[in-house]
Amino acid sequence: MVDTMFEMPLDPAGVPRGRAMIERAEWAARAFATYDAATVQRIVDATAQAGAARSKEFAEWAVRETGYGVAEHKLLKNLACSTGIAAKYRASDYIDVVIDSSDKMVEVPRPAGVVLALTPSTNPVATVMFKIMLALLTRNAIVISPHPYAKAVCAEAARTMAAAAVAAGAPDGCIQVVEEPSIPLINALMTDPRTDVILATGGTPMVRAAYRSGNPAIGVGPGNVPVLVDATADLNATAQRIVESKSFDNSILCTNESVLIVEESAAAALLNAMTRAGAHLLSDDERDRVRDLVFPEGHFDPKWVGKDATAIAAAANVRVNARTKILVAPFDLVVPEEPLAHEKLCPVLGLVRVPNVSRGIDAAQAVLRITGQGHSAAIHSSNPQTIMAFSAAVRVLRVSVNVGNSLGASGIETNLAPTMTIGTGFLGRSSVGENLEPKHLINWTRIAYNTDALVPMADFAGLTPWHTPTAAVPAYPRASNDLTAAPLVPSTVAMSNDAPDELRDEIRRLIIEELNAIVRG
């Protein structure tokens, strides 16, 4: 009867604390799942504003901490993923019950519960904010495990938003962040039976581990975006868009263009326009030096992730204009042994010239055979037949048309759902084929009546199972004979959004100013 406790493996450092966070999240999720829509809206707004108010600081901090990207672009993403997400889904309802009298059904939304969010180093704060907003919109508790390269800024962003959420009435512990992420800790959190869904945004090994965990997971595959430009495109506008998109945050969105495929008849004009827009077309010698630099031994060197084009050029001993935003590297054949045909999270764009659209589609498919299936592709064309042929043939789940793919596929400059997580679907070994959005974090309980017309359906109008919390959640544990006493050590802040009106107006003004500056810039 003496059992095998002596063989218990030791938990790695940090794992017990991580498990405690999941347990706390479980309590928070239970409480949150009964909240009414109005309260949730207040929490969503307050949290978004708190994130937005520090977006600029977090953008600069993220660049400093990771060494990746461009602060002003990160600011745009941070705003898009905080107040932007709140605005986008203001009219959406993930809380109220839906009554369908004709089908004799009532649908009750049911949050996932505890969401484990893994976030990348490339879009660190934006992804943290994005996943927090999705969790709050759907009344889920979230535990964030940031990439170790960005852990400090992500933790501060999450704590900022958590404090705002709780101050606005959210349950204590509904947003938590792992301060010291590690592989054993992430594995323990992913495989914990109390984790209800994993949102895995990051490298392929991590995403595959999420799917192996035994828990429901929404993970995404890598991108490797082909962009086709045919002779019918508006070449000046296309050139501008591609350079802007490829240089956006120095290419660290997984939606950045990887290989430009241009119809030969349009190539000269397009490349001239791109050069005017800030591209440097590499000569064959220069290309070889850049390739050797960025792909030593044929493998991408992560130290170039998100670095400036001028820095890469300098390191490759390529003289470029100081205003150069991207380097264009021509090559002939899209094959696996060509490093430049692989994903490049830096402002180096592969270039392939093709005699016609049909060969262009073949080349795009070749890019995706290397990696990136299910992710995204872009096309610049005014010919619907070409766009249709391209989209049907190329194995991706979103095709951006006449727009830069960085912000196009991620829904910021298209009407796709704005996202930091691109579902790659069955093609890309993922459970979700759309851009990740709030609806992916709920299930619905369906109350289904007998179809027999003789069995009437009751009237559910006006019934709601949800509550408006009237005090902090959970209540502070006061002695039962002294329930009115104020706690000496307050656990949470009061229900209302305590920021005085002037402060809130000031925050709003700052956000609008920042947005305007970006639009103008």
Partner 1 sequence: MSDATALDYGFFSFASKDEVLEKSKEYWNPGKTSFWSESGIPLVIDRREEYFIYDVSGKRLIDAHLNGGTYNLGHRNREMVQAITVAMQHFDMGNHHFPSLARTALAESLIASAPKNLTKVIYGSGGGEAIDIAIKTARHATQKRKILSIIKAYHGHTGLAVGTGDDRFSKLFLSDNEEDFPHVPFNDLEAMEEVLKGRDIAAVIMETIPATYGFPLPNPGYLEAVKQLCEKYDALYIADEVQTGLMRTGELWGITKHGIEPDILVTGKGISGGMYPIAAVLVSERCAGWLTEDGFGHISTFGGAELGCIAALKALEICNRPETRSMVHYISDFIGRGLREIQATYPDWFIGIRQNGVVMGLEFADPQGAKFVMKRLYENGVWAIFSTLDPRVLQYKPGILVKPELAEELLDRTEVGIAKARADVMSERKFR
Least distance (Å) between residue 476 CB and partner 1:
7
Is 8 strand, coil or helix? coil
Least distance (Å) between residue 166 CB and partner 1:
10
Give per-residue burial for 328-347: e unless 16+ CB within 10 Å, then b: bbbbeebeeebbbbbbbbbb
Q: Where are the beta strands (DSSP E) in 128-192?
A: 141-145, 175-177
Least distance (Å) between residue 477 CB and partner 1:
4
> Where do runs of H (alpha helix) occur along 400-497?
405-409
Find, among 50, 40, 53, 132, the residue nearest to 93 by Cα: 40
- Which one, 453 or 488, has the nearer CB to partner 1? 488
The dihedrals phi and psi of 405, each to the nearest 5 degrees, come to -80, -25
Amino acid at position 31, single letter: A
- Which one, 7 or 297, has the nearer CB to partner 1? 7
User: Residue 327 is inside which H or E element, if any?
Assistant: strand 326-330
Find, among 413, 381, 379, 416, the residue nearest to 399 by Cα: 379
DSSP letter for each residue of 36-59:
-HHHHHHHHHHHHHHHHHTHHHHH
Q: Token pair 């949800």 is at which residue?
A: 466
Q: Token pair 């049907």 is at which residue?
A: 392
Cα separation, 83 vs 72, in Å, equals 17
Amino acid at position 249, single letter: D
Least distance (Å) between residue 27 CB and partner 1:
4
Cβ proximity of 514 and 56 under 8 Å: yes
- Which one, 333 or 475, has the nearer CB to partner 1? 475
Cα separation, 489 vs 504, in Å, equals 27
Cβ proximity of 254 and 398 under 8 Å: no
Amino acid at position 294, single letter: V
Written as six digits, the tokens of 62 are 């993220």
**Catalytic (active-site) positions:** 254
Cα separation, 313 vs 327, in Å, equals 8
Cα separation, 210 vs 217, in Å, equals 6
Q: Is 91 exposed, middle or buried (0-12, 13-18, 19+ CB in 10 A)?
A: exposed
C-alpha distance across the termini of the chain, in Å? 73
- For 249-317, what is the HEC assignment? HHHCCCCCEEEEEEEHHHHHHHHHHHHHHCEEECCHHHHHHHHHHHCHHHCCCHHHCCCCHHHHHHHCC
User: Residue 348 is inside which H or E element, if any?
Assistant: strand 348-354
Angle at 56 between CA 50 and CA 57, to 5 degrees: 85
List interacting residues with partner 1 (CB under 8 A): 1-3, 5-6, 8, 10-11, 16-17, 20-21, 23-24, 26-28, 30-31, 172-173, 176, 473-482, 485, 487-489, 491
Written as six digits, the tokens of 102 are 């004709």
- Which one, 91 or 483, has the nearer CB to partner 1? 483
Least distance (Å) between residue 34 CB and partner 1:
12
